Amino acid sequence: MGEGQLSRFFSELEAGRLTGGKCKNCGSIFIPPRPLCSRCGGEMETVNLKGEGTIESFTVIHVPPVFLKEAAPYILALVRLEEGALVMGRLLGYDPNKPEEVKIGSRVCFQPLREKHGEKEETIIAFKPA
């Protein structure tokens, strides 16, 4: 999986779709895609993902990188997708000043988020309550 396939991942994200790399040998799924499976070394193929899963962990970011200072505070969550992949993304629909409202195991679904970083605007991975 080369630079073209990573480009495709970001193009699909811009279009509101979540994709990943699936190992043709062991079936492991990774986001973003990678050239070879880090579990068995097998060849990868691009697959579309439903984007539904559960919160495994989360944190509230109060001191962000400089380019995200306007967004703070915000919540980052580690989500286990139904397809098995772990992916980190912004958690929407919760108040970062009330982290006690976020529950491990809560169901969430993929929600692309357009965000401006300086002069550049891009789409990032985010999740909202299912």
pLDDT tens per residue, the chain (130 residues)? 456 667 889 999 999 999 999 999 999 999 998 889 999 999 999 999 999 999 999 999 999 988 888 889 999 999 999 999 999 999 999 999 999 999 999 999 999 999 887 778 889 999 999 9
Do 73 and 104 reside in the same domain of the chain?
Answer: yes
Do residues 89 and 123 share a domain? yes
**What integer pLDDT is reported at residue 1 of this predicted model?**
43
Global pTM reads 0.89
CATH of the domain at 122: 2.40.50.840
16/61 same-domain check: no
Q: Indicate if 11 and 39 belong to the same structural domain.
A: yes
Query: How many C-beta atoms lie closer than 10 Å to residue 70's C-beta?
Result: 9
Residue closest to 16 by CA, chosen among 62, 59, 48, 39 = 48
**pLDDT tens-digit readout, 113-130:** 998 877 788 899 999 999
Q: Could you give the C-alpha distances from 63 to 52, 113, 124, in angstroms and in order?
A: 28, 20, 19
Whether cis (ω within 30° of 0) applies to the bond prior to 73 is yes
Q: Domain span at residue 28? A: 1-49
Q: In total, how many domains does the chain have?
A: 2
Query: Do residues 36 and 63 both lie within one domain?
Result: no
